């Protein structure tokens, strides 16, 4: 008999789509894949060479569980200089990607049955990670009129005596919305009053097209104390396969995370840590160039979306996604169970474009497009979306007469 927890976990929709895309590609189909949240850039050369040097120096033995000292020192400098958050190195735990840092944090602060609040739309893995640790995901309905951002007032309605943690993603995946300082203060004050931890997932922090990014932990010392900041190198430094992320939290939580990580994985691969160290110390310009390119793409994709009738979208101020509202098409589209899943399946089958159904993020009227790819790809994909959408609208008009 296998564990009961398996029956409650849904396999990752985005990974499922990637497998389908590979299957179709193997059959010779030319697929435009806008489903994956992965930069199309390579790791900056300077970061790579720091990793290679570490191998040549035989830095390959077991090391500190929480990560090599020089990397944690650099992370502290970064958090202080860029985020206005003062942490000491024993408050940082480096892990195998942000996913691992989040799971570590959930293991360290939740007990079975504790409730974890997830403002909708939420990143696909939060709900499943929560279930894996035997806590309970509680989705929060947010308002489209507020770009699906959480407010203190809304948050208050979902708090029970079992609420342990709020997960706040800023900038958001899938909407690209960015919280302003006063919005964060409003939310964090509710958490403070109710003894709720905040897991602030700031992995897209660098990919932010406004200059108003604020880290939750910078708001006050009290707020910093209840906040676990999560960050990583996958998105900002195009290091998805290197698997490197980290958490910054108060000493007690960091000690707990350290104890858990020590038994599960010891520490992330040393070469990954050196590559991350190289990215932090030598690759600021490369990262800025990537962000400039994403911004240019954001401008292009939104201008193009503005020309497509019958769709709306949340204007993205960060990350590299657009969350597209297909409510007007939903009524006209013939589907059985999930509109967004069946819409995306048909779009892939008939138009050779892979995008992610909104249901994966908890909202079925929407789809998510990633623009972390060449302009030609997403512009061509949007032409096909335009044709698909207008065909749906027209075929229904004909049926109506």
Ligand X SMILES: Cc1ncc(COP(=O)(O)O)c(C=O)c1O
Q: Closest approach of Cβ 126 to ligand X, in Å?
A: 8
- 60's tokens: 């390959």
The nearer residue to ligand X, 314 or 389, going by C-beta atoms, is: 314
Q: What angle do CA 384, 354, 37 make, to 5 degrees?
A: 125
Find the binding residues for ligand X in span 33-52 (CB under 6 A): 37
- 286's tokens: 């490369």
Find the binding residues for ligand X in span 239-258 (CB under 6 A): 240, 245
Q: Is the peptide bond before 171 cis (omega within 30 degrees of 0)?
A: yes
Alpha-helix runs per DSSP H in 60-123 = 69-83, 97-109
Q: Closest approach of Cβ 87 to ligand X, in Å?
A: 19
d(CA 119, CA 132): 19
171 binds ligand X (CB under 6 A): no
137 binds ligand X (CB under 6 A): no
169 binds ligand X (CB under 6 A): yes
The nearer residue to ligand X, 126 or 388, going by C-beta atoms, is: 126
- 39's tokens: 């930069």
206 binds ligand X (CB under 6 A): no
201 binds ligand X (CB under 6 A): yes
Kindly give the pairing relationship between strand 321-325 and strand 312-313. antiparallel
Q: Closest approach of Cβ 201 to ligand X, in Å?
A: 5
What x/- string results for residues 214 through 243 when contact with ligand X is judged by CB under 6 A?
------------------x-x-----x---
CA distances (Å), 305 to each of 175, 308, 311, 353, in order?
15, 5, 8, 16
The nearer residue to ligand X, 197 or 333, going by C-beta atoms, is: 197
Q: Closest approach of Cβ 37 to ligand X, in Å?
A: 4
d(CA 33, CA 236): 20
d(CA 50, CA 243): 16
Binding residues for ligand X, rule CB under 6 A, total: 13
Find the binding residues for ligand X in span 68-107 (CB under 6 A): 97-99
Residues engaged in binding ligand X (CB under 6 A): 37, 97-99, 123, 169, 173, 201, 203, 232, 234, 240, 245
């Amino acid at each position: 008999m296998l564990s009961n927890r398996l029956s409650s976990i849904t396999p990752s929709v985005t990974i499922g789509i990637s497998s389908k895309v590979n299957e179709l590609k193997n059959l010779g189909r030319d697929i435009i894949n806008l489903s994956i949240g992965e930069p199309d850039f390579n790791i900056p050369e300077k970061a790579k060479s720091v990793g290679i040097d570490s191998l040549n120096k035989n830095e390959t033995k077991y090391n500190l569980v929480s990560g090599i000292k020089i990397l944690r020192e650099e992370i502290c400098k970064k958090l202080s200089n860029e985020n206005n958050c003062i942490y000491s190195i024993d408050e940082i735990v480096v892990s195998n990607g942000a996913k691992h840092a989040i799971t570590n944090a959930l293991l360290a602060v939740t007990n079975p049955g504790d409730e974890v609040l997830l403002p909708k739309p939420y990143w696909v893995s939060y709900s499943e990670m929560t279930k894996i640790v035997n806590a309970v995901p509680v989705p929060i309905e947010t308002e489209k009129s507020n770009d699906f951002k959480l407010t203190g007032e809304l948050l208050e309605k979902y708090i029970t005596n079992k609420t342990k943690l709020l997960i706040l993603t800023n900038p958001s995946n899938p909407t690209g919305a960015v919280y302003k300082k006063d919005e964060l203060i409003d939310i964090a004050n509710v958490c403070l009053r109710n003894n709720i931890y905040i897991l602030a997932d700031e992995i897209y922090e660098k990919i932010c097209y406004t200059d108003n990014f604020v880290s939750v932990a910078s708001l006050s010392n009290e707020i910093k104390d209840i906040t676990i900041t999560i960050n990583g190198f996958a998105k900002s430094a195009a290091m998805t396969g290197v698997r490197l992320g980290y958490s910054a939290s108060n000493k007690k939580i960091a000690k707990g995370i350290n104890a858990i990580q020590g038994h599960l994985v010891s520490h992330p691969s040393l070469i990954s840590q050196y590559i991350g160290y190289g990215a932090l110390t030598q690759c600021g310009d490369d990262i800025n160039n990537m962000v400039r390119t994403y911004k240019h793409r954001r401008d292009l994709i939104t201008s193009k979306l503005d020309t497509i009738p019958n769709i709306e979208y949340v204007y993205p101020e960060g990350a590299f996604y657009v969350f597209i509202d297909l409510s007007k098409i939903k009524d006209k589209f013939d589907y059985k169970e999930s509109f967004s899943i069946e819409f995306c399946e048909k779009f892939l089958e008939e138009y050779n474009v892979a995008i992610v159904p909104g249901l994966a993020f908890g909202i079925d009227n929407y789809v998510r497009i990633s623009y972390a790819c060449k302009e030609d790809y997403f512009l061509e994909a949007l032409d096909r979306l335009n044709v698909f959408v207008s065909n749906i609208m027209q075929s229904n008009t004909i049926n109506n007469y």
